[in-house]
Amino acid sequence: MKFKETLGQFAVLDIALIEPDSASPRHQIDEESLKVLCNSIKKVGVIHPLVVQPENAAGRYTLIVGERRWRAALMAGESAVPVLIRGCDATEVLDVQVSENMGSGMRSALAPRAMANAIQAISERFETPDAAAGHFGETRGWLNQVTAAANLSPKITALLDSGKISSTGTAIQLEKLSKKNEAKAVALISELEQMPEGGKLTRKTVDKVLSGESARRKIKNDIPTETDSVAGATWAGESAGFYGISPVKVRQVATLLGLPDGDDAAVLSRLIDQFLAQEKPPF
């Protein structure tokens, strides 16, 4: 029977008879937020009932939702907690857990990667990504975005787990960089692997490299071909240099900025950064 079609039976159960779901997507619980909830329970008790599966052969109940409340109640020394006992088909348990954690407010949402892994697991039941997205009432673009953290490369995942990447968002940006410029991503990853303990790759660093890569691609796409007409004149190719600027001048600026010769996009990017960094831009 579907979860929404089952009638819940309210009860107050001995907390020792309840056990967490070993397949739950929530693998990490923030200790500080757990202490806050514990203090609340010490004052007023568990306000919202846990949802549990009916007792098993061992006479115990399995949590469907409410693991944070259960752990905080244990920490608070509670001997019994309010519950709703509801049957739930094994194939639907993960759906219920994810749906409960997609909300906000008093709930503590799953960590980004845990949520991504859970949604990815659900989406794999469907024949197409569009069908999976439709299950959540969202678009395929949304599905790609929320499951990005579940599809990180092994190396980036290892660096994220080791703490050398500052956040899941940073890891996702690094994965994007690897698709745009694999060489730069490999160089960053190599630096990270050799970084001493405590060092981290920040989102700002990756975003800056990504911005430079986007600028480079735009410049490359905007440069006319030899047959294109620019302001009524024929583009002269290499002899015209960077957007018609003398290659000698570009090399001189590169030398002054300490940049490699021939990387015109890097020269332009650095000049723009320095221009924008002025306290009083001349415009």
Contacts of 83 (CB under 8 A, 6+ apart): 10, 11, 12, 13, 18, 49, 50, 51, 52, 61
Domain boundaries, the chain: 3-89, 153-222, 225-283
Tokens linked to 50: 């846990």
At 124-158, the pLDDT tens digits run: 999 999 999 888 888 899 898 889 889 888 888 88
- Model pTM score: 0.51
Strand partners, 62: 19
**End-to-end distance of the chain based on CA atoms, in angstroms?**
68
Helix (H, G, I), strand (E, B) or coil at 231: coil
State the average pLDDT for the chain: 78
pLDDT for 81 beyond 80: yes
Banded model confidence at residue 10, pLDDT cuts 50, 70, 90: very high
Percent above pLDDT 90 for the chain: 22
**CATH T-level topology, domain 3-89:** 3.90.1530
pLDDT for 224 beyond 80: no
Pairing of strands 50-52, 80-85: parallel
| Best CA proximity match to 37, nearest among 50, 56, 27, 21 | 50
pLDDT for 282 beyond 80: no
| Best CA proximity match to 50, nearest among 79, 13, 16, 2 | 13
**So what's the pLDDT on residue 72?**
94
Beta strands in the chain (DSSP E): 9-14, 18-19, 50-52, 61-65, 80-85, 229-230, 233-234
CA distances from 161 to 73, 120, 155, 158, 165 (A): 29, 19, 10, 5, 8
**So what's the pLDDT on residue 233?**
33
